[in-house]
Structure 1
Amino acid sequence: MSDAQKKFYLTTPIYYVNARPHIGHAYTTIAADVIARRQRLLLGTDNVWFLTGTDEHGQKIQRSAEAAGIPPQRFADQVSEQFRSLWQRMGITYNDYIRTTEPRHTRGVQRLFAELYSRGHIYLDTYTGQYSVGEEMFVDGPPGTIGPDGKPTETVTEENFYFRLSSYQAELIDRIEADEDDPKAFRIEPEARRNEVLSFLRGNVAAASSTEGVILSEGGKAAESKDLRFSSKGNPYVPGALKDLSISRSSFDWGIPVPEPAASRTTKKHVIYVWLDALTNYMTAVGYGSDDPAQQEQYKKFWPADLHLVGKEIIRFHCVYWPAFLLAAGVPLPKKVQAHGWLLFEESKMSKSRGNIVRTETILDAFGSLLTPKPVLSTSSTASSISNTVSSRPERSGVEGSASPEPPPPPTKAEQDLFASDVLRYFLLREIPFGQDGSFSFDALVQRYNSDLANGYGNLVSRTLSMIRQYFSTGEAVGRLSGYAPVPPLENDETSFPLNEAIRSSVGVVLGRTNEAFEENDFGRLLESVWSLIGTTDSFISEKAPWKLAKLDSTDAIITLRQVLYSAAESIRIITALLYPVLPYSTAKVWDQLGLGDIEAAARNGELNDLTWGSLKPGTKLGQLGPIFPRADKGLIQIMTDAEQNGSSTPPTPSKFVDEKTTHTAPAPSDPTHPGAAPRTSLLPHENPGTQVGASSAPVPELARPPAPHSEAPASGVFAGSAASDTQQIAIDDFVKIELRVAKVLVAERIPKADKLLRLEVDLGYEKRQILSGIAQWYTPEDLIGRRIIIVANLAPRKMRGLESHGMLLAASHGEDGKPILATFAESDEIELGSRLK
């Protein structure tokens, strides 16, 4: 392994401090913590750097502080401390916590701005337009236009610095399209987000190709024209689709000042807007811009970042603007950006306006209350060894031993928080496919906890270790075995363990699956694989019935009993090592009960990497036994619900999982040179306009478009049809005008604020196109990806929710409200994409 491969640097978004954190923030941070813990196992503690922090500049922070009657810095201090305290409460193992108000960050941002300016990538321009003083924003319209604050606007001229983003269209496309092993490749995951970014960068290829009268296909050889160019991979794009970007503002001052020599050219003081400010945190945190030799060495070691974790709605900032800034400055690009989906609460997107945001503290307090003192078995001079657990009914545990004469001390608040944090970690990572939208509910949380943790992993540990202790510490069974050596590991004497092959084989399969899942950050598949091993081990115990073997007056039965319990304990050791990155607190308790000591020390010295069957040394003394996951009563659901309804007077934090209502209704400027316009770019929709920026939820430097009314797009085509009896007859000449073709669904995803709409990208063989369809209540995105469907290919384009739909799906349904059944072809059907139905 080269020196460059012996490090791993990953980041979360930096969270915007206009209010307090919630489980949306926790989701991203938990995922990052799991990855960091896993990488430390592989590379060592000193070679992994995990960054999180807060984004604290911008006009919204300034306004929030004014509303609170305190200075912006004090406001940012208070909210940032809430994030930091929550991460500490949850046991998040970040290496650094960056704040964009820190001097080290200010210094680095100004250095990057100066570098871009000196290289000629930043220029000054002016814009004159109508300005709403009350809302501090430009709006379209003639002088005297009524602004979003209900008052007439003023004619204002504002100068802005612009970044030459348009210069990087072709290079960005080439790097994103590059093969994974290409050193210049810029990786974006999942594929749906990669396709989204490429679609944005390529522009409206379909419209341009139609104008030029050429038919294009992936890798096609059509000649370039004034309206089309081709990437290195031969894919078409529209030159000029990417426009320059405003990166400074002079209408407010809560930000990092533009440095010299650029500052001397302006008539007013400019601050660097959050596009450039927030994103640069990823470099300033590891030493960019520092004159300290130690910081310079750290930057040299860890940059470029190996992984940026972001929400899908801020993918554009990280995959278009950020790499363009770095290319212009001559800085290496991060290796990969991975986006996750939205978190839905009770099947609705978490929204400040809906009041359905869940605070992480609610879950920590509720589940932490389960961790109360329980009776445990005391450790004595006759403590059992591995071949040796605790249950009055070991065939199915739940009661974990007889009462200790000296009960352990009550758990501390920190222990309760870490236990509850494990519960939340497990639920979010098991329940939500990383990269897709996922649902959260208190009911599902409690159900998953009881079924998987209490009745699954926890019960397996309890019943196994209970029987080891019960059968091999004192009593007649052990007396008959005096003089026998400890049972050897399987690999030393396979003839002694013929009945363990099922578990051993399962372990090998699971190790292969979990390694792949870890590499792909596929947490759901990772946990599913581990739980399959838990199920196999549990079934093995039930099949061999050690409680029956213990009653037999036979030396062979007792040896078999030792073999069975050793195998179960060894399986638990491997399961626990695999689960450590996900459940650090709970696995520490299991590791200790196995008699293996401190799991953090085991992580540092490489013991958790030893997953070879038989590495658990026979004769190892068990630790003090006790409950791992006490069952949760359903009353916990009501406790959490009540806590959220009573809530806190502090509003939850709008973040990447939040629909935040804009405070105005003014239309967006159409002039791309307008400093309040959309980011001087074209086709990619901004899913949460006016609220997201950089690595956070900061307001964007351009004018936010008003939210569309929250009503469903009208049904169309087959979904708006009337009853069969009302069908209007048409002539054959009308029918032949309809062009039905076979297409394959490449991408399918939900559209924010449109509960019925899905956005699809389909392949027709000769071209790819976008189609919007009102089938979200019947089909999930996962149901559609890869299907061969029939579409109406010559339907006139139609705009819905700001997106253009080029076609319509063909489906059948029974009755007005019946579920539409898509007309599809099987993969085995020998029909080419684009084939016309006649």
Structure 2
Amino acid sequence: MDQPKRYLITSALPYANGELHLGHLAGAYLPADIYVRYLRLLGKDVVWVCGSDEHGAAITMRAKKEGISPKEIIDKYHELNKATFKKLGISFDYYHRTSAQLHHETSQDFFLRLHEKGDEFEVRTTKQYYDADFDQFLADRYIKGTCPRCGHEEAYGDQCENCGSDLSPIELIDPVSTLSGKKPELRETQHWYFKLDEHEAWLREWIATGKLDGEQHHNPDNWKKHVIGQCLSWLDNGLQPRSITRDLDWGISVPLEGAEGKVLYVWFDAPIGYISSTKQWALENGTDWEQYWRDEDTALIHFIGKDNIVFHCIIFPALLRAYGGYVLPQNVPANQFLNFEGQKFSKSKGWGIEQHAYLDEFADFPNKEDALRYALLRNLPENRDSDFKWDEYVDYHDKELADKLGNFLNRVIVLTNKYFDGQVPEVQPGVSDAIQGAIELTDKLTAEIEAFSFKQAGLYLIELASYGNTYLQDVSPWKIWKTEPDSPLIKECIYVSLQIATLISALCEPFIPFTSPRVRKQLNLPPLENGDLTEVLRKLKAGESLLPANHRVGEPEVLFPKIHDRKDTSRLEIINRQKEKLEAILAAERGPEREPMKPEIQFDDFVKLDLRTGTITAAEKVPKADKLLKLSVDLASEQRTVVSGIAEHYKAEEIVGKQVVLVANLAPRKLRGILSQGMILMAENADGKLVFVSPEDGFGNGWTVR
């Protein structure tokens, strides 16, 4: 397959119904940004589109919760998320929104084209869940229940977010309406179904072999295994016609007579948002959108999370092919999920941190954007779920960005200013052994980016800085300077180190774009422009100088002030505040501290206890004893009298008939003149509240508790 003439990159459209957290950033946006920045540096024709997904049940659910209109919701979160992406260096070419008129027109055109073809849709009258309390049919996201595949109790009517299974509402076990909390009823309604099943054969061949109409379309070996696996598993279960309309009052209206009150299913219109976003970008830039969607020399690549694989690899490609004339994706490098300190992100629990909240809370943190980007890069869930931890954030920042990358660049600039008055020394041209090592690492780095392995590519960037540090340390020009200040070894060492530093200034831009111009400023170079990396790589392999002799560098600068710094604890204090917040959340979940465990006993000690089930048949207060109740306990074979210190917690008449567990072989003891023949087992919380330890109702009396 030839190299494409152009690239169209998409990232999953985020719902405009709430703030985006760090897991979102690691899933579909940071990886795409790294890839797009790399392509631009190579001078490729690339367009990256995204935008807010502003239809569907999630929007109306949030609007109902906040008591405002859906439009107020989408306006609020569209602007917030768009601005936050920009602050973090996520460099979309266009960030559109699906509420725009152009998107409505594009989606309706898609529907009408498929409708007019006559063989892609069928109209069905089916039964759909209806909430009588709210007088409306329920979209998939308005229904929750137990997943029939994995047993997760919080599955939605369209998908289980625990196992990723695609579902229909009627498959859910014990479904309930998210509006009323009641079990919904089934009522008849009419909808348009896309005949997805008729696309099964070519989809299977295209996904499994990469072939389309007998020609090689893409290399399936370059697709992630979990993407191929999930798609083939879905196909193995057999494709079914899929409803593409809904009964809702928010969304894109179905443009047909007799379809009043119907809107397009959000998963029909949302991917079309990539097309409308490209159209809007083209309009504003005076170019033709169709070359990016209809020319076979375009590589279409979708960056998504694993929960969207089926929609981007099966449903959307089928819609594009049914319409006709559209390119299909060359790759869908879906990431898995990022957890936060060992748990899933949870807004309700306050577990995690949103992107905009990070920027606010780390406002005084130098290079906070790249510090976060790099920590997420090191934890990208490319092939399995991963975990973001604040302690690792600190380690990645201090040990890799500060100690390796920042330290090498700083040393090189300092030594150049000290020994050569800030000028690049003259040396014999050619590729030295030291430069050859840098070339090999660069080749590995670029190969990993092109294979969508961004975490490993980032590690090679740090390895290149470590390589430079090791080379500098091995030569130790400061030692040679003491006896031979004119030694050619010093010149060669500083020259080579400056070439590696210049190379790093270009290679780091896709990963830490806020740092790259700062590095280049120290080297007295302008910020990178599109196509510059191609020339850097050409010069590197040809043995030409990346930074020519007599070029004057700038002044050194600390790029990443360390978090663990004895002189300045401000950055560590920010991290510690974050960790304290999480500990407070965990403490609230755990509740008050429990009593410490008693000393260890042996099994033989335990089996000496005779624990029996019983029922309290009578109870009365012990005279002149505020805390004591006299109980009669039925053990089936006998009646026991027990004096128990529970009068402050229970009234005598409340506990008659209560089933209990009794220590039956405790030596009898007189309390207030009453012989107590055992002890009732109770549990006590931090407030001193006592509750009975009881068997299940109707268990029977006198049975052994083991």
TM-score (norm 1): 0.59
Q: What residue in structure 2 maps to residue 280 of structure 1?
A: 272
- Equivalent runs, 1:422-501 vs 2, <5 Å: 422-432=370-380, 434-473=382-421, 486-491=425-430, 500-501=432-433
Query: Which residue number in structure 1 is paired with residue 17 of structure 2?
Result: 18
Among candidates 105, 108, 112, match of residue 107 of structure 1: 105
After superposition, the Cα gap between the structure-2 partners of 1:183 and 1:126, relative to the gap in structure 1 and judged at 3 Å, is same
The verdict on how the C-alpha distance between 1:176 and 1:157 changes in structure 2, with shifts beyond 3 A counting, is: same
What is the identity, as a one-letter code, of the residue corresponding to 1:32? A
Whether contact under 8 Å (2:4, 2:299) holds in the other structure is: no
Equivalent-residue separation in structure 1 for 2:170 and 2:206 (angstroms): 37
Q: Which residue of 2 aligns with 1:264?
A: 257
Q: Distance in 2 between matches of 1:313 and 1:566?
A: 49
Structure 1 position 130, deviation (Å): 5.4
Instruction: String of CA shifts for 1:83-140, please: whole Å, max 9, x gaps.
Output: 1110121222211012010111111000001111111211221123552234753876
Q: Which entry has the higher C-alpha Rg, 1 or 2?
A: 2
Name the amino acid aligned to 1:628.
Answer: L
Question: Counterparts of 1:241-640 in structure 2 under 5 Å?
Answer: 241-250=238-247, 252-259=248-255, 263-266=256-259, 268-287=260-279, 297-303=288-294, 306-330=300-324, 331-365=326-360, 368-371=363-366, 419-432=367-380, 434-473=382-421, 486-491=425-430, 500-501=432-433, 503-553=434-484, 555=486, 557=487, 559-600=488-529, 603=532, 606-607=535-536, 610-612=539-541, 613-615=543-545, 616-633=547-564, 636=571, 639-640=574-575
- Which residue in 1 is equivalent to 2:29? 29
Q: Aligned partners of 1:147, 1:286: CA distance in 2, in Å?
A: 37
Distance 1:63 1:457, change over 3 A: same
Distance of aligned partners of 1:602 and 1:122 in 2 relative to their CA distance in 1, 3 Å threshold: closer
Deviation at 1:340, TM superposition (A): 0.4
Give the whole-Å Cα distance in 1 for the aligned partners of 2:549 and 2:98.
53
Instruction: Show the counterpart of 1:119.
Output: 117
SS in 1 for 2:8: strand
* 1:616-675 CA-partner distances (Å, limit 9, x unpaired): 20111011322111111376455246358779xxxxxxxxxxxxxxxxxxxxxxxxxxxx
Q: Aligned ranges for residues 63-78 of structure 1 at < 5 Å? A: 63-78=61-76
Deviations 1:494-533 (A, max 9, x none): 7xxxxx52x2231121122112112101112212222222
SS of match in other structure, 2:304:
strand
Provide the C-alpha distance between the structure 1 equivalents of 2:287 and 2:570, rounded to a whole number of angstroms.
54
**For the residues of structure 1 that align with 2:189 and 2:285, how far apart are their CA atoms?**
42
1:601 positional shift: 7.3
Q: Give me the whole-angstrom Cα distance separating, in 2, the residues matched to 1:293 and 1:637.
A: 45
Shift of 1:150: 5.3
Distance in 2 (CA, whole Å) between partners of 1:609 and 1:192 is: 36
The number of residue pairs the alignment matches comes to 533
Structure 2 portions without partners, runs of 5+: 144-168, 583-706
Q: Which has the higher contact order (CA 8 A, sep 6+)?
A: 1
Give the distance between the partners of 1:582 and 1:257, measured in 2 at CA: 42
Deviating more after overlay: 612-621 vs 149-158: 149-158
1:186·1:334 contact (CA, 8 Å) conserved in 2?
no
Task: Find the aligned partners of 2:471 and 2:465 in 1 and give their Cα distance.
Answer: 10
Once the two structures are superposed, the pairs formed by residues 694-733 of structure 1 within 5 Å of their partners are none
Question: Cα deviation per residue 1:461-518 (whole Å; 9 max; x = unaligned)?
Answer: 11111011112229xxx9xxxxxx9523541xx7xxxxx52x2231121122112112
CA distance in 1, matches of 2:176, 2:493: 80
Change in 2 beyond 3 A, CA 1:511/1:489 = farther
Tell me the distance in 1 between the aligned counterparts of 2:557 and 2:287.
49
Q: Matches of 2:539 and 2:381 in 1, distance apart? A: 28
Q: 2: distance between equivalents of 1:31 and 1:150? A: 39
String of CA shifts for 1:208-257, please: whole Å, max 9, x gaps.
xxxxxxxxxxxxxxxxxxxxxxxxxxxxxxxxx2111011112x210000
Superposition pairs for residues 45-84 of structure 1, below 5 Å? 47-84=45-82
Q: Offset at 1:183?
A: 3.9
Aligned partners of 1:160 and 1:248 also within 8 Å? yes
Name the counterpart of 2:191: 160
Whether the aligned pair in 2 keeps the contact of 1:173 and 1:198 (CA below 8 Å) is yes
CA contact (8 A) 1:366 1:636 kept: no
Cα shift readout 1:764-795 (whole Å, capped 9, x = no counterpart): xxxxxxxxxxxxxxxxxxxxxxxxxxxxxxxx
CA distance in 2, matches of 1:146, 1:34: 42
Q: How large is the RMSD of aligned CA atoms in angstroms?
A: 3.2
CA displacement at 1:152 relative to structure 2: 6.9
Aligned to 1:698: none
Contact 1:100–1:281 under 8 Å retained in 2: yes
**Structure 1 residue 23, shift from structure 2 partner:** 1.1
Instruction: Find the aligned partners of 1:91 and 1:608 in 2 and give their Cα distance.
Output: 24
Q: Note if contact 1:370-1:630 (Cα within 8 Å) is conserved in structure 2.
A: no
Counterpart CA distance in 2 for 1:461 and 1:155 is 67
Cα deviation, residue 8, structure 1: 1.1
Aligned pair partner of 1:177 in 201, 208, 214: 208
Distance 1:43 1:469 in 2: 33
3-state SS in 1 of match to 2:311: helix
In structure 2, C-alpha distance between the alignment counterparts of 1:581 and 1:560, rounded to whole Å: 33
Q: Equivalents in 2 of 1:617, 1:539: separation in Å?
A: 23
**Counterparts of residues 756-795 of structure 1 (less than 5 Å):** none
d(CA) in 2 for partners of 1:436, 1:154: 39
With 591-600 and 461-470 compared, the bigger mean Cα shift is at 591-600
**1:247 aligned partner, one-letter code:** I
- How far the C-alpha of 1:597 sits from its partner, in A, is 2.6
Check whether the contact 1:96–1:285 (CA below 8 A) recurs between aligned residues: yes
Structure 2: how far apart are the matches of 1:166 and 1:289? Answer: 34
Aligned partner of 2:93 in structure 1 is: 95
Shift of 1:325: 0.9
Percent identity for Structure 1 against Structure 2: 27
Cα distance in 1 for partners of 2:291, 2:70 equals 34
How far off is 1:594 after superposition? 1.2
Structure 1 residues 289 and 80: alpha-carbon distance in aligned structure 2, compared to 1, 3 A threshold: closer
Partner deviation per Cα, 1:593-630 (whole Å, 9 max, x = no partner) = 11223334784894576434441201110113221111
Provide TM-score, normalisation by structure 2.
Answer: 0.70
